[in-house]
Structure formats: C-alpha cells, structure tokens
C-alpha cells in the first residue's frame, strides 16, 4: 500500500483511514453522551418575598453547575444535591455563604419519620426562612430516581475519614477511580425571580346576623358582636401548602353556627379569612382594620376577637393556649369566655386550657400573633393555638407531621371545644352542666366528615371554593384586596412558577484531561510512525526475512 503511494496525500486515500475508523469510535464511546443520560424533575424554587423593606427567601433562580454531595462540595462552581433530613443548620449556613446552588429532595412522608427527624426538619425549615438566601435553592418532591442519583453522588465521592492508610486504595486506584467516575451537571430552566407588581392579599368576610331586625333592636340597641378570624397560608418554605387546618376549623364553625343562628340569633358574628399570616406580618388584617374600624362603630365595640392559629397540628399536645397581649380583667366578656373554654375542654380527654401573656413589642418589625393587630387598636382579642411559643416552627411549616386520620382526630376535638365554648357563651348555657350542657349533639353533632372537605381549601386567587363556602352560609360576603404601595411597599411577592430540573450524566474534568493526553499520545504515535516509516518498514522486512529463513 505505501510502496504504491505517489505522494503523502495518497496515503489518506489508501488504508490509513481504516485505522481511524477503528480508533475514533473507541474514543467516542469513552466520552459521555449528555442527551442520552439526562433526567428531568419538577422542582419548586424556595419562596421569595419582602416585608417592610426586608428581604426573605431565595433571591436567585439561574442554575447550571456541577452537582456535588453535601460532604464534598468546595467552591461556588458546585451545586449541592442532598436530602432535607441529611442537612443541618450549619450545613445550610455554609452552603448559603459559599456554594453556587442547592437542590433538596423532600421526604417521601413526613408523618413516617421519627420525632427527632421531624423536629430537626422544622428547625431547619425555620432557619432557612428567617433570612435572605443569595443562591438559587430548589426543592423536589420525593422521587426514587433523584434519590438514587443522590446516593450515587454521595457513594462515589465520600471517603471515610477514619479509614486507616493501610486499608486505603493505592494512588493508581485513586486516580483510576477519579477518571472512571460519573459526574452530574445540574441545569434548571423555566424559573424566574422577578417581582410580581400585581401582588395582592385577599381578605374575605361574611357575617351571621338576623334575617329581619327585631323591633327591640332599633336605634342604638344592636346585637353584641364577636369576630372570628383565621389566616390562609398560601406559601411557606415553598409556594405550596399541604393543608390549612385553621381555615378548616373556621369554616366548620361557620357551618355549625349558621344552623343555630337561623332560629335563635343572640349575637352578630363576623368571620374573616386573610391570606397573609405570620410571614407577611398579618398585612391583610391590618388592611381590614384600617378600612373598617373608623367606619363601623360596632366593630370598635366588639365583645372580643377570636384568632385561630395552628389549631390541630399536634394530636399529642393536650393543651390549648389562649394568647393575649393583656390579661383579661375579671367580669369582662373575654374573661368569661376563658373560664367557659377551660370548663368545656375538660369534657374531651381532660384537655387543659392555659393562658399565655405576651406584651406587644413595638420595636419588633414583625408581630408575634394576629390578635396583636386588634390589640393595637384597643380591641379585646386573643389567639387560640396548640403551640405555646410564638417562635414555634410548627406555625409556618409546609409539612404535616401527623397522618390525615390523626390530624382529623385533633381537629374534631378542637372544633368541639371551641364551638361548645362559643355557643355556651353566646346562648348563656352553663358549661358546668357537663354533657347535659352540650349543644352540638344529635343531628348537629360535629364529625370529621364536616372538617375534611375544608382541609385543603385553596386561595381565592386560585379558585372560588372559599368564596362559595362563605356565600353558602353567610350574609354580606365581601372580598377586598391589600396591594403594596408603589413607592414604599409594606410587602412584595415574587413569581412562583414551577421549574424543570435537568440532571445530565457527565464525566469529570479529570477525564477530559486524561482523554486529551490519550489523543495526544495517539496522534504522536501516528506522526512518528509516518515520519520514520522507512526505518520502521526496514525493521519489519528484516524481521519477516529472518522468520522466513528460520522456517
């Protein structure tokens, strides 16, 4: 072949390309094909919002980095891929300060975790929400494929620091392992973190009042007023909530008292649901008070305001706490209701009711409880809750610690206590009569079937279920909106579109270096073989002649 070539170019028209056809596929097979090794997952970006000019939550969205485990990431060019229960608060703080991104796999079922793991997750969740996070943070619902990727990333990178040097692999094995290992590239598309200029907080209200005013109620003689409120949490660590137990309790109360009120109206009841809770500093209730308090004198003279917050979250907690900014004085309606509530609670598994007094600190940027909005307007108000401290992480968690059945058991018990106490106060039924004094019995008995439909109620900006529920049982239903000021907004929400997480199986950077050396060595061998071909040809001929003579 080479003897018949007239010039160097004739070599490439001969047999040499066949050698390349053999070699190049080998090199291509060694390289990773990201298109064939791609995995796609739906993720949610960590919530982002502003309150009184302070930034909270995730402040970035773009992500295109190499995936590393929780234990091996080093620089801002790495994205940490981990499970939520594996990460500690110290891990998160370090990642927030130095890493390039964070992708977290949420637990498959929080209720199945141990009590220690649940407490750990809630504390971590709270720590992540109290500050702004400059890196993109994404959360994925549990996925077996993503879980196996995390296992692989961790398995191929983590080394046991306690392993002795005698048992460790040789340097060659370490290098070969680094070259042959698979890496992952994380790319997130479709996410956005631009401010939503159309941000608004809905506040829906309705009332139970007599269909026709009584003759005895003319002039200034009006029915006494009680206000019952709850807030609908539309977001937390992510822009989704699994359940809204407080609104479910309020809607169940609405349904129950609408039956009583139709025949024996003793009080005027106003029910309020604001779609802004602790995270947005109860801005919705502030808007409602500013709009209605000066115009409606009767609201100013309400007997008391009942705020529901974290009611029925913990079945194991046998306490109901009545949080107040100022202890009620003896002889007041609020003090009378507190005593009634304590008496009624003892009928249902000896549940104890405890008063908790916390003064309002005007120096704090954020309020502790919703009733403080009313207390600042000099209205008697309190919050009923299953948590004792306003700092309890259960108040704004997106996770359900209890199963649906356990949660319904807790809600059924608490609804019975609150409804019976409120009805005893309204209709002046002595609570000391025990079971004989129960009002909601027989056909009006409270059951979990009444509560369950309201447990996953959605925002009025997503559907009209909440509005329809109010219009079904209440009168004078009205929806108002709190919008941020254009110049100095008290709050600001951001786009919360779902994003796509693409994970590509790629080779590490050291493999590219190794491949470069191999290609350079191959090309050098081809070059020297061609350049010294006469000498190589002579050697081969002599070896062939010698072998022929021997035969």
Give the pLDDT confidence score for residue 110 in this predicted structure: 87
Q: 71 vs 54, 68, 96, 356, CA distance in Å?
A: 32, 8, 15, 43
Structure tokens at 13: 């028209």
Give the pLDDT confidence score for residue 35 in this predicted structure: 46
Q: Which residue has the tokens 């808007």?
A: 287
Which residues contact residue 79 at a Cβ distance below 8 angstroms, ignoring those fewer than 6 apart?
A: 63, 65, 66, 67, 68, 73, 99, 100, 101, 102, 103, 186
Give the pLDDT confidence score for residue 244 in this predicted structure: 87
Give the pLDDT confidence score for residue 29 in this predicted structure: 56
Which residues contact residue 382 at a Cβ distance below 8 angstroms, ignoring those fewer than 6 apart?
A: 304, 305, 306, 307, 322, 323, 324, 328, 334, 338, 371
Please choose, from the candidates 307, 289, 280, 293, the residue with its C-alpha nearest in 3D space to the C-alpha of residue 200.
280
What torsion, rounded to 10 degrees, do the Cα atoms 190, 195, 197, 198 define? 50
Contact 388, 321 (CB under 8 A): yes
Distance between CA atoms of 505 and 106, rounded to whole angstroms?
Answer: 22
CB-count burial class (<10 Å; 0-12, 13-18, 19+) for 12: exposed
Q: Which pairing describes strands 381-385 and 319-324: parallel, antiparallel, or unpaired?
A: antiparallel
Which residues contact residue 522 at a Cβ distance below 8 angstroms, ignoring those fewer than 6 apart?
A: 23
Please choose, from the candidates 108, 170, 100, 177, the residue with its C-alpha nearest in 3D space to the C-alpha of residue 135.
100
Give the pLDDT confidence score for residue 229 in this predicted structure: 97
Q: 401 vs 1, 311, 351, 451, CA distance in Å?
A: 78, 13, 20, 18
Please choose, from the candidates 92, 64, 89, 94, the residue with its C-alpha nearest in 3D space to the C-alpha of residue 79.
64
Please choose, from the candidates 353, 336, 352, 303, the residue with its C-alpha nearest in 3D space to the C-alpha of residue 429.
336
Please choose, from the candidates 97, 57, 189, the residue with its C-alpha nearest in 3D space to the C-alpha of residue 491.
57
In the three-class reduction of DSSP (H, G, I as helix; E, B as strand; rest coil), residue 114 is classed as coil
In the three-class reduction of DSSP (H, G, I as helix; E, B as strand; rest coil), residue 79 is classed as strand
**Any bridge partners for residue 208, and if so which?**
269
Give the pLDDT confidence score for residue 134 in this predicted structure: 94
Q: In which order are the strands placed within the sheet that holds 491-493?
A: 132-133, 54-58, 48-51, 491-493
In the three-class reduction of DSSP (H, G, I as helix; E, B as strand; rest coil), residue 132 is classed as strand
Q: How far is CA 511 from the centre of its chain?
A: 38
Distance between CA atoms of 551 and 546, rounded to whole angstroms?
Answer: 9
Give the pLDDT confidence score for residue 539 in this predicted structure: 79
Q: Which pairing describes strands 304-308 and 225-231: parallel, antiparallel, or unpaired?
A: parallel
Q: DSSP label at 286?
A: H
CB-count burial class (<10 Å; 0-12, 13-18, 19+) for 278: buried
Contact 121, 85 (CB under 8 A): yes
pLDDT tens per residue across all 551 residues of the chain: 445 545 544 544 554 555 555 566 555 555 554 444 578 999 999 999 999 989 999 999 899 999 999 998 999 999 999 999 999 999 999 999 999 999 999 999 888 888 899 999 999 999 999 989 999 999 999 999 999 999 988 876 544 444 444 444 566 666 666 666 668 899 998 777 788 888 899 999 999 876 655 444 343 347 899 999 999 988 889 887 767 899 999 999 999 999 887 766 778 999 999 998 899 999 999 999 999 887 788 898 999 999 999 997 654 557 899 999 999 999 999 999 999 999 999 888 778 999 999 999 888 889 999 999 999 999 999 999 999 999 999 888 888 888 888 888 889 999 999 999 999 999 888 876 655 568 888 888 898 899 999 988 888 888 889 999 999 999 999 999 999 888 888 999 988 778 899 999 887 667 777 778 888 888 888 788 788 778 877 777 877 776 565 55
* Residue-by-residue DSSP string for 490-529: SEEEB----EEEEEEEE--HHHHHHHHHHHHHHHHHHHHH
Q: 425 vs 251, 263, 302, 341, 428, CA distance in Å?
A: 19, 17, 14, 9, 5
Distance between CA atoms of 241 and 234, rounded to whole angstroms?
Answer: 6
Give the chain's length: 551
Q: Which pairing describes strands 63-68 and 268-274: parallel, antiparallel, or unpaired?
A: unpaired
Contact 421, 431 (CB under 8 A): yes
Distance between CA atoms of 301 and 47, rounded to whole angstroms?
Answer: 39
**Any bridge partners for residue 16, and if so which?**
none
């Amino acid at each position: 072949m080479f003897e018949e070539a007239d010039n160097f170019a004739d070599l490439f028209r001969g047999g040499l390309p066949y050698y390349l056809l053999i070699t190049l596929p080998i090199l291509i097979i060694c390289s990773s094909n990201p298109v064939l090794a791609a995995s796609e997952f739906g993720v949610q970006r960590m919530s982002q919002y502003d309150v009184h000019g302070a930034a909270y939550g995730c402040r970035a969205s773009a992500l295109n980095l190499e995936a590393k485990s929780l234990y091996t990431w080093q620089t801002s060019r790495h994205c940490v891929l981990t499970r939520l229960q594996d990460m500690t608060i110290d891990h998160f703080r370090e990642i927030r300060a130095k890493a390039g991104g964070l992708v977290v796999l949420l637990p498959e079922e929080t209720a199945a975790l141990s009590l220690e793991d649940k407490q750990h997750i809630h504390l971590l969740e709270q720590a992540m929400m109290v500050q702004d996070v400059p890196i993109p943070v994404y959360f994925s619902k549990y996925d077996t494929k993503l879980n196996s990727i995390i296992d692989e990333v961790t398995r191929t990178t983590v080394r046991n620091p306690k392993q002795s040097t005698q048992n460790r692999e040789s340097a060659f094995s370490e290098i070969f392992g680094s070259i042959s290992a698979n890496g992952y590239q994380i790319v997130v598309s479709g996410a956005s973190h631009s401010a939503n200029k159309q941000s608004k907080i809905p506040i829906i209200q309705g009332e139970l009042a007599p269909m026709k005013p009584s003759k005895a109620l003319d002039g200034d003689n009006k029915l006494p007023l009680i206000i019952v409120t709850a807030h609908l949490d539309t977001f937390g660590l992510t822009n989704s909530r699994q359940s809204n137990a407080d609104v479910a309790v309020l809607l169940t109360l609405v349904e129950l008292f609408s039956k009583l009120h139709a025949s024996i109206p003793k009080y005027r009841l106003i029910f309020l649901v604001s779609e802004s809770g602790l995270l947005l500093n109860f801005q919705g209730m502030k808007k409602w008070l500013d709009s209605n308090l000066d115009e409606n004198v009767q609201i100013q003279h309400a007997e008391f305001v009942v705020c529901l917050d974290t009611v029925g979250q913990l079945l194991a907690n046998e306490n109901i706490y009545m949080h107040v900014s100022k202890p009620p004085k003896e002889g007041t309606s609020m003090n009378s209701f507190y005593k009634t509530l304590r008496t009624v609670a003892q009928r249902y598994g000896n549940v104890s009711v405890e008063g908790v007094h916390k003064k309002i600190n005007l120096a704090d940027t954020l309020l502790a409880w919703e009733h403080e909005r009313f207390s600042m307007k000099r209205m008697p108000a309190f919050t009923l809750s299953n948590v004792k401290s306003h700092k309890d992480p259960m108040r704004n968690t997106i996770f359900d610690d209890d199963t649906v059945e356990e949660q319904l058991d807790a809600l059924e018990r608490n609804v019975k206590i609150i409804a019976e106490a409120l009805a005893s106060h309204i209709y002046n039924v002595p609570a000391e009569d025990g079971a004989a004094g129960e009002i909601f019995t027989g056909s009006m008995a409270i059951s979990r079937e009444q509560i369950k439909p309201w447990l996953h109620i959605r925002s009025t900006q997503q559907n009209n279920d909440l509005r329809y529920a109010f219009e079904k049982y209440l009168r004078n239903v009205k929806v108002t909106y709190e919008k941020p000021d254009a110049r100095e907004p008290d709050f600001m929400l951001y786009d919360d579109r779902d994003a796509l997480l693409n994970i590509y199986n790629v080779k590490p950077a050291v493999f590219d270096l190794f491949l470069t050396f191999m290609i350079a060595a191959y090309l050098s061998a081809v070059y020297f073989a061609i350049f010294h071909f006469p000498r190589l040809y002579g050697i081969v001929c002599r070896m062939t002649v010698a072998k022929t003579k021997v035969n």
